[in-house]
Each structure stands twice: as structure tokens, then as C-alpha cells.
Amino acid sequence: MGTDILARKHTPILSATDGVVLYIGYMPIPGNFVIIRDPSGYEYHYYHMFELSTFVKEGQHVKQGQQIGRVGSTGNSAAYHLHVGVISPDNRYLNPYDLFVQAGIGPIQQDGTP
């Protein structure tokens, strides 16, 4: 569950929130990924990244807007894009688009600008 955001290869992926990097890894479906937990316990999942992130490390504190990776097409993916999922502390999937708009980092225009 989540939202797919089409983007050009290597487009910077920025953290949607302040938080701590929980995991950096690879799995067959999400491909290369980063998971960040915000101070309220929400988890932000960023999938299909170009490579395992060299921009952040597990346990690192990140700020909203900080680069955490680059857009790719790894895992179960047919085009360059970012898949973003947000999971609440009680394990409910939330619509990331709504959260991005509330945070003032959306909507995203067709040319890739906020």
C-alpha cells in the first residue's frame, strides 16, 4: 500500500519527515529501500531506489527535506519511480499524498517541481 510517484532516473529522494533511519536494504518486491520512523512512531517507506542508500545510515537522524537516496527501478518495478508507504504506530497504512500536502511538500507537478 502506498503511492507511486513517477520521476526521472536518479532524481533525489528527500525525506518527508524528521526521524531516524530504521532500515536500509534490498528485498525482491520493494528493491532497494529506506525506512524512516518519525518522532510520533509513523514509518515512512521509500522503495525502488537506484542503489542501496549511501546518503544515510541505519540509526542516523534525518531532517525533513534531507536527501536519502535516488529514484530507481529496482525490485518489482517496470519504470523509474518512487513508491512511498506510510504506516501508523497502530499498523494502519495511510495515504502518503495527504501527509505530503499537510507537510507543505506537495502536490507534485508534472514537471517534478513542488
Predicted pLDDT at 107: 53
Task: For residue 94, tell me if it sits in a domain.
Answer: yes
Predicted pLDDT at 96: 85
Distance (Å, whole) CA 63 – CA 92: 24
Task: For residue 108, tell me if it sits in a domain.
Answer: no
**Total structural domains within the chain:** 1
Q: Given a cut of 60, is residue 112 above it in pLDDT?
A: no
Domain enclosing residue 61, as ranges: 3-102
* Averaged pLDDT of the chain: 90
Task: For residue 107, tell me if it sits in a domain.
Answer: no
Predicted pLDDT at 77: 95
Tens digits of residue pLDDT in 25-36: 999 999 999 999
Kindly report the pTM of this predicted structure.
0.88
Task: For residue 109, tell me if it sits in a domain.
Answer: no
Task: For residue 45, tell me if it sits in a domain.
Answer: yes
Task: For residue 55, tell me if it sits in a domain.
Answer: yes
CATH of residue 29: 2.70.70.10
Predicted pLDDT at 93: 93
B/e letters for 60-72, b = 16+ CB within 10 Å, e = fewer, are eebeeebebbbbb
Average pLDDT over residues 51-79: 96
DSSP H helix total and E strand total for the chain:
1, 9
